[in-house]
Structure 1
Amino acid sequence: MRILPMTAAAALAAGAVLLPAPAARAAAPLSAPAAAVRTGTAPTAALERTVDRAVADRLAADRIPGAAVTVVSGGRTVLAKGYGVADTASKRRVDADRTGFFLGSLGKLFTAQAASQLAVAGKVDPKADVNRYLRRAAVPDTYPGRPVTLDNLLTHTGGFDSDIVGRNRARAAQVEPLAEGLTERRPARVRPPGTLAAYDNYGFALAGEVVAEASGESFPGYLDRHVFGPLGMTGSTAAQPGPASITGSLARGYRPSGDSGWTRDLGQYGSWSPAGPGIVSTAADMGRWMRGQLGADPAARLMQRAHFRGDPRLPGLGYGFEEWRRGALAGWFKDGDIPGFHSNLLLLPRQHVGVFVVFNGDGTDGTASWDGKRVIDAVADALAPGAGAPAPVHRAVGVDAGRYAGTYRPARVSRHSLMKVEALVGSVTVRRDGGGGDGGGDGGGLVTDGLSLDPEHTVQHWVPLGEGMFQERGGTARIAFPGTGGVLVSSVMPSTAYQKVTWSQSPALHMALLAGGGGVLALGAVAYPVTALVRRVRRRPAHAAGARAARMAAALAGVVALGFAGAFAAVVGDGNAMMEMVPLGSPLLSVVTWLGATVVGLCAVVLAGAVTAWCRGWWTRLGRLALTATALAGAAASAVLLTYHLAVV
């Protein structure tokens, strides 16, 4: 087989994708040394080489079609550059000035800026009940005397349940008005406001409605006139559909498909646009926005102030921003993820530096979001060498680490929707480190699994700094257990706290019940038909109709359980595809919940049959025990399906 020409062609194609786009734009090289970044300058040529290497490595390693990076320093955009392609079919190159990218949750920063502008102007009070401003989407008074405020909405502490299933749309023309989207399928309030941070898309969408109501303008119109327009951000919009001058240059988002191809992602539009869907910007425009944020704008100063801390010893939340710390560096961070697009932004006010990175691909196993953070770290290290290194750790002794051991689930986990499944796969385990976390012998350290954002290093070891406070061994991240230790807060994700679960809420227990119960049901799918066939071949007398129906229900429950397992595996088997399925509300999700509901219904019939079998003496004792075991297994699996809303018609 002659494969060398094909291999050469593939190599050429890969090279074309990885080369910087011809339309890339960078400022003229500056002569100041690297340390001068603290005074507002940067060595552009060296910086460009650093970014080129970092981005090219990520595009190649993780199969991402394109990217754009912007760096501002000292009030200037010193680098704005596109890489790869914006459209894999046409091979259109990424242009830093013209190519628009969907920002996802990074668009929350524009919502926070709009709200902060109104607060500075005295048109809204961040500490007042938002119902003072909301006429079309008033918040229910679930907790009397504990109103939701704009401050809560902008710091993810409003206390709303999380449910984005089916909230997004494949095309902009399908998007309903903001107020309608807020009142249709309104999530419940599940905790008093201001108590815990739990990442909240609905809260930011409500904040956008506050902006619209208080200003008398539509949300997209307000951004055009008061955020994008004054900064000259002509390639940015929140309108759905957007102007032709912007939509004609949009990048397309992709996920890897097969060995070398890509599948286009959909689902970037939605009525909750203040939370991110539908918001578009270019790399050059984001440079303009970062320069504005690093200036003297009063609204920017309000955004870049800690308004909530899960623990007073850790970074907190500004308006839209998360506090960011790495060694001696301190700044403000935000990222955004929407099907096919992943963006990261960091401001370092003391160094007068801002960095923006965006990819138009999910990357292998969904690594694009982490890739953006890697690029930002590389830029920070280039501009401030050594400043991001971990500080020496002064290990505390006598810390009772064992009291913090257990399983913790994100506070954002839904209580009332299919998104509760996140608790099964997204929980964090904390255990005592027998070696003390740093080689010590008193067991004062901790080990966590599932907390790290780095997909290659999910297990972390933590050194005690004091009661309820730990630092990652060899790193800069910190975790804390405020109060009685039932809550875990992380320095790298202050927008979501983690709550300790009881043994009966343990995801490991629930997974065991689901797997074990499903396995027994699957066994019955084979055993009961075989038993009936053997009985018929041997010409045994037929059992009572009720007995036959009970065993038939058991066999059908096993068959449907196998179908459920297959459909569920199809949903979660490709994390990138699942990221599109959930916000779009894929029919496959409906298939999963319909099959789950069918399993529950059939298991109820089996349970009734088992009780009746003992009452009426069907079969032998062994036969009754077999059906009883099947019924109990089905009951266990059904309980898990119902708990996680996986059995809904």
Structure 2
Amino acid sequence: MNGSPRATLLTLTPVLALAALLPLAAAGPASAAAPAAPADPAAPADLAALGGLIDRTVAEQLRRDRIPGAAVAVVSGEEVLLRGYGVADTAAGTPVDPERTGFYLGSLAKLFTARAAAQLVTEGRLDPAADVNGYLPPANRIPDTYPGRPVTTDHLLTHTAGFDSDLVGLNSATPEGIPTLAQSLAAHRPARVRPPGTLVAYDNYGAALAGLVVERVAGRPYAEQVRASVLEPLGMTRTSFEQPHPAALAPARGYRPDGSDGWTEEHGQYGPWTPSGPGGITTAADMARWLRDQLTPDPAARLTQTTHYRQDPRLPGMGWAYEGWTRDGRTGWFKDGDLPGFHGNLLLLPEQHLGVYVVYNGDGTEGTAGWDGKELIRAIVDTLPGGTGGTGSDPGTGDDPGRYGGTYLAARVSRDSMMRTEELFGTVTVTAEAAGLRTEGLALDPRHPVQHWLPLGDGRYRERDGQARIAFRDGVLTASDTPSTAYRRLAWRRQPGPRLAVLGAALAVLLGTAVAVPATALTRRLRRRPAHPLPARAARAAAALTGLLAAGFLLSLLALVSDGNAMMEAVPLGSPLALAPTWWGAAAPPAALAVTAGAAAGWLRGWWRLPGRIAMTAVALAAAVFTALLADYHLIAGPLGALLG
């Protein structure tokens, strides 16, 4: 996740929104062909034929996944193909123009950060192997958590710096009043959780810090440096990292599907960490200029397209911001970028002199837009002549799949923020089966979360019905489709199953108490039984209140996770939808303390019969377990949460 906005319901009715798209669908995609030199006779792709494939694929994606619009740029040799589809603004019905419609870059901004840093390296002004503290102001210097293991620019640009991850509340719905990059990085500095260079874990903070290094070495703000050193030389006049943007660069609006065949506009594409994602905008035509430049790289571009780190030497690794990519026997460089309502994908195949950029201004049903771009890129690559089909080696023998079974967690998952809850719901399960391995939660396609893998030997596996590869080494799972994040096998005490079972049991007791206490009190009154002493009644009331607090927490959590698209907007914005569970959680510790005190007093003073005292003890235990789990996952707001967490 690279950012997020606060959702506002569209005023346009779903019928009008769909009607605005119908004329465009009937007329076909808007297109523009950039002036080009005669085609290179060795160019690998027939752009005329590719145009038809792209038209059909994108039109079906927009229809099937309820996405308002898209833009595509393909560079093959000296030829350029540009396409625009659907609308940039559903209310106004503005069609997507690949030359003029701006789309938010999301994490594709990291490519520009890497390029700017690489230029400083080639000029001899920045040492990528030096301690970055030598380039940073005092407020942004990194603590010496691992003596003798400083963080370098190379670590920042390969996601191996070893920082924890926390994006809660970092983004903004508007471009005004945003703190400076240096101010925000100082205020939101995460802990160092592993020595640098030991594990790849996708890191927005590290990329933003690399942008600050660029800013300090260049002696001018990041946006100015990128504009002067990267954008202007390439003629990318409709790309900007300034916030607010120049008035002439009005970006498309981003959307997610609503519940009535329409769209909800999303917000939160702005923020201070511009070098890692929020704020930057571009057009398909400008990205074609970027692709052409990257396919005929100068020394700085070649530096970004060099493998600087591999989690497993048998699989693709990391360039600077780029991820290694392979398909049909071809190798290249890939990057994607996501912000609420915007999802872009970019691929370079230098040997084929082919570059592809595709972007959507909608999340798609079930968050499918991010995968749709990858699906289109794969379809384009599969048309190229001379591919191997990617079947690779024949299945191997002698490897025991059972030794790799277990639960794995992406190394990027937070340890010190409420985003740690991803540990409960976002793990990867690996299970041995007759022909090899079965994984769930590793697939990029949200519609097909289960994958099956055939052994290649020595801890390597290839996808049974695809071309992906995975490899295991020292308890770490590495996947060819996601070289920017490794997966660590969880010890039994950290696996989500037992923790969710304990949490479920505690919630069941507390929710039952919220119903049982008023019911028994009413029954006692109807039967005209003597009332318990006031302190006893207060203790039971505290138990019932704790149950109601648990119910409020559960409902607010379900509201947050029930719509992944809305959650992607809410968390970086720090909106009430995202923070509500922590507000309910803030009341849990005092409530648990009150229930525990009441249960203890009940035993000492004999307020209830034995079953009643046992029941109150069970409620106190459930409240304590509930509070402990909330604290462990940083779901208690305020100073008390900071203390307990």
TM over 0.5: yes
The one-letter code sitting in structure 1 at the alignment partner of 2:290 is W
The aligned residue for residue 324 of structure 2 is 323
Q: CA deviation at 1:416?
A: 0.8
Query: Secondary structure in 2 aligned to 1:24?
Result: strand
The aligned residue for residue 370 of structure 1 is 371
Unaligned runs of 5+ in 2: 1-12, 639-645
Query: Secondary structure in 2 aligned to 1:287?
Result: helix
Q: CA deviation at 1:602?
A: 1.3
Deviations 1:472-531 (A, max 9, x none): 11211111112x3x2111110011111111111111222222222112211110101111
For 1:137 and 1:12, locate their aligned partners in 2 and report how far apart those are by CA, in whole Å. Answer: 51
Q: CA deviation at 1:8?
A: 10
User: Is residue 543 from structure 1 mapped to residue 532 from structure 2 by the alignment?
Assistant: yes
The aligned residue for residue 73 of structure 2 is 70
The aligned residue for residue 503 of structure 2 is 514
Q: CA deviation at 1:611?
A: 2.7
Q: 1:251-270 to 2 correspondence within 5 Å?
A: 251-270=252-271
The one-letter code sitting in structure 1 at the alignment partner of 2:456 is L
Q: CA deviation at 1:612?
A: 2.8
The aligned residue for residue 115 of structure 2 is 113
Q: 1:9 to 1:391 in 2, by over 3 A?
A: same
The aligned residue for residue 229 of structure 2 is 226
Q: 1:374 to 1:263 in 2, by over 3 A?
A: same
Q: 1:411-560 to 2 correspondence within 5 Å?
A: 411-433=411-433, 435-436=434-435, 445-482=436-473, 484=474, 486-560=475-549
Query: Secondary structure in 2 aligned to 1:513?
Result: helix
Q: 1:30 to 1:47 in 2, by over 3 A?
A: farther
User: Is residue 285 from structure 1 mapped to residue 286 from structure 2 by the alignment?
Assistant: yes
User: Is residue 562 from structure 1 mapped to residue 551 from structure 2 by the alignment?
Assistant: yes
Say what the alpha-carbon RMSD is for the aligned residues. Answer: 2.0
User: Is residue 214 from structure 1 mapped to residue 217 from structure 2 by the alignment?
Assistant: yes
Task: Report if the CA contact (8 A) 1:518-1:633 is conserved.
Answer: yes
Q: 1:212 to 1:428 in 2, by over 3 A?
A: same
The aligned residue for residue 129 of structure 2 is 127
For 1:19 and 1:201, locate their aligned partners in 2 and report how far apart those are by CA, in whole Å. Answer: 41
The aligned residue for residue 8 of structure 2 is none
Query: Secondary structure in 1 aligned to 2:306?
Result: coil
Q: 1:608 to 1:117 in 2, by over 3 A?
A: same
Deviations 1:309-360 (A, max 9, x none): 1111111000010000113121000000001100000000010000000000
The one-letter code sitting in structure 2 at the alignment partner of 1:501 is L
Deviations 1:446-488 (A, max 9, x none): 1111011111211111111112211111211111112x3x211
> Which of the numbers 590, 593, 606 marks the counterpart of 1:604?
593
Q: 1:313 to 1:504 in 2, by over 3 A?
A: same
The one-letter code sitting in structure 1 at the alignment partner of 2:232 is G
Unaligned runs of 5+ in 1: 1-5, 437-444
Q: 1:20 to 1:359 in 2, by over 3 A?
A: farther
User: Is residue 401 from structure 1 mapped to residue 401 from structure 2 by the alignment?
Assistant: yes
The aligned residue for residue 51 of structure 1 is 54
Q: 1:460 to 1:179 in 2, by over 3 A?
A: same
The one-letter code sitting in structure 2 at the alignment partner of 1:25 is A
Q: CA deviation at 1:385?
A: 4.3
> Which of the numbers 202, 205, 208 marks the counterpart of 1:202?
205
Task: Report if the CA contact (8 A) 2:14-2:262 is conserved.
Answer: no
Q: CA deviation at 1:7?
A: 12
For 2:115 and 2:350, locate their aligned partners in 1 and report how far apart those are by CA, in whole Å. Answer: 17
> Which of the numbers 173, 182, 186 marks the counterpart of 2:185?
182
Q: 1:144 to 1:28 in 2, by over 3 A?
A: closer
The aligned residue for residue 586 of structure 1 is 575
Task: Report if the CA contact (8 A) 1:400-1:467 is conserved.
Answer: no
The one-letter code sitting in structure 1 at the alignment partner of 2:134 is R
Q: 1:102 to 1:21 in 2, by over 3 A?
A: farther
Q: CA deviation at 1:296?
A: 3.2
For 1:508 and 1:7, locate their aligned partners in 2 and report how far apart those are by CA, in whole Å. Answer: 41
The one-letter code sitting in structure 1 at the alignment partner of 2:201 is A
Task: Report if the CA contact (8 A) 1:106-1:343 is conserved.
Answer: yes
The aligned residue for residue 350 of structure 1 is 351
The one-letter code sitting in structure 2 at the alignment partner of 1:594 is W
Q: 1:240 to 1:11 in 2, by over 3 A?
A: closer
Task: Report if the CA contact (8 A) 1:30-1:43 is conserved.
Answer: no
For 1:636 and 1:613, locate their aligned partners in 2 and report how far apart those are by CA, in whole Å. Answer: 20
Task: Report if the CA contact (8 A) 2:567-2:578 is conserved.
Answer: no
Task: Report if the CA contact (8 A) 2:254-2:361 is conserved.
Answer: yes
User: Is residue 138 from structure 1 mapped to residue 141 from structure 2 by the alignment?
Assistant: yes
Q: TM-score, normalised by structure 2?
A: 0.93
Query: Percentage identity across aligned positions?
Result: 56
Q: CA deviation at 1:52?
A: 0.2
Query: Secondary structure in 2 aligned to 1:556?
Result: helix
For 1:134 and 1:392, locate their aligned partners in 2 and report how far apart those are by CA, in whole Å. Answer: 46
The one-letter code sitting in structure 2 at the alignment partner of 1:361 is G
Query: Secondary structure in 1 aligned to 2:387?
Result: coil
The aligned residue for residue 24 of structure 1 is 31
Q: CA deviation at 1:544?
A: 2.7
Task: Report if the CA contact (8 A) 2:21-2:86 is conserved.
Answer: no
Q: TM-score, normalised by structure 1?
A: 0.93
For 1:21 and 1:138, locate their aligned partners in 2 and report how far apart those are by CA, in whole Å. Answer: 53
Q: 1:7 to 1:386 in 2, by over 3 A?
A: farther
The aligned residue for residue 94 of structure 1 is 96
Deviates more, 1:528-537 or 1:597-606: 597-606
The aligned residue for residue 634 of structure 1 is 623
For 1:268 and 1:17, locate their aligned partners in 2 and report how far apart those are by CA, in whole Å. Answer: 27
For 1:17 and 1:614, locate their aligned partners in 2 and report how far apart those are by CA, in whole Å. Answer: 74
For 1:593 and 1:512, locate their aligned partners in 2 and report how far apart those are by CA, in whole Å. Answer: 21
The aligned residue for residue 337 of structure 1 is 338
Which structure is richer in relative contact order (CA contacts within 8 A, separation 6 or more)?
2
For 1:133 and 1:577, locate their aligned partners in 2 and report how far apart those are by CA, in whole Å. Answer: 38
For 1:166 and 1:7, locate their aligned partners in 2 and report how far apart those are by CA, in whole Å. Answer: 31
Q: CA deviation at 1:138?
A: 1.4
Q: CA deviation at 1:539?
A: 2.3
The aligned residue for residue 623 of structure 1 is 612
The one-letter code sitting in structure 1 at the alignment partner of 2:453 is W
For 2:388 and 2:134, locate their aligned partners in 1 and report how far apart those are by CA, in whole Å. Answer: 44
Task: Report if the CA contact (8 A) 1:390-1:474 is conserved.
Answer: no
The one-letter code sitting in structure 1 at the alignment partner of 2:451 is Q
Q: 1:214 to 1:11 in 2, by over 3 A?
A: closer
Task: Report if the CA contact (8 A) 1:104-1:337 is conserved.
Answer: yes
For 2:586 and 2:15, locate their aligned partners in 1 and report how far apart those are by CA, in whole Å. Answer: 52
Q: CA deviation at 1:14?
A: 4.3
Q: 1:579 to 1:11 in 2, by over 3 A?
A: closer
For 1:629 and 1:385, locate their aligned partners in 2 and report how far apart those are by CA, in whole Å. Answer: 68
Task: Report if the CA contact (8 A) 1:20-1:83 is conserved.
Answer: no
The aligned residue for residue 174 of structure 2 is 171
For 1:56 and 1:641, locate their aligned partners in 2 and report how far apart those are by CA, in whole Å. Answer: 45
User: Is residue 574 from structure 1 mapped to residue 563 from structure 2 by the alignment?
Assistant: yes
Q: CA deviation at 1:397?
A: 1.7
